[in-house]
Chain A
Amino acid sequence: MSIQVKFFASLRETLGQSETTVEDAVTVAEVWDMATQSATPPNNLLVAVNLDYATLQSPVKEGDEVAFFPPVTGG
């Protein structure tokens, strides 16, 4: 079991990937570092764990889905 990672919108284009998987991360920040080769996270980065908003400090476990995206612009 690993952690699923997704990127959306401008962040997906900047990083050049829409999804990946990582192993053995215990926080969202570690997931980010593993998935992006420690790219500097943008100041306005938003994060969701299992479809709920979270922070870089939030814990993660095997089987989780972690998503990174820029500020939302719907409506």
Chain B
Amino acid sequence: MATHILDEDFQPYQWLSEFAQQMPAGRDGASASFIGTMRDYNEDATVRSMTLEHYPAMTLRYLEKLATQAKTDWPLNDCLIVHRVGKIFPGEAIVLIGCWSAHRRAALDACNWLIEELKYKAPFWKKESSGQGERWVVSNTDGL
């Protein structure tokens, strides 16, 4: 189980691959992952960049709490959460979640639960920068 908060661009597929390489071969029958990346548009504006602010002590603790809860609620063998902070540009990854288990249902359900919990509870805030200036994102889309 691992949680990371990064202040520079990261390659989610490389992280998944390197994390999975440390696992015992043949243990997991299923892995599920979610990767969130930055779009270059939101609502009515073209977005040039975004700054992700967070509450450092609480964020780290909260991500660890989510990972621990997921391992309690589903038969997961392992789980990885990586989240960006700082200035982000379109196309860059914002969040990566990976779940490994013996069977698909636990991996898929835990991955879905983790991204939804993270989006509604983990203390991160996005501020978008467009040609019209800067604006805070007011709320996350509801389960879309």
Chain A residues at the B interface, C-beta cutoff of 8 Å: 6, 8-10, 46, 48, 51, 53, 67, 69-75
Interface residues of B, dominant DSSP: mixed
A69 touches B123 (CB 8 A): yes
Q: How many residues of B contact A (CB 8 A)?
A: 28
Interchain nearest-CB distance for B137 vs A (Å):
4
In the assembled complex, the Cα of A53 lies from the Cα of B136 at a distance in Å of 22
Extra A-B contacts (14), CB below 8 Å, given A67-B58, A75-B95: A9-B53, A9-B125, A51-B57, A70-B136, A72-B121, A73-B136, A73-B137, A73-B139, A73-B140, A74-B54, A74-B118, A74-B123, A75-B36, A75-B115
- A9: chain B residues at CB < 8 Å are 53, 125, 127, 136
B136 touches A48 (CB 8 A): no
In the assembled complex, the Cα of A53 lies from the Cα of B122 at a distance in Å of 10
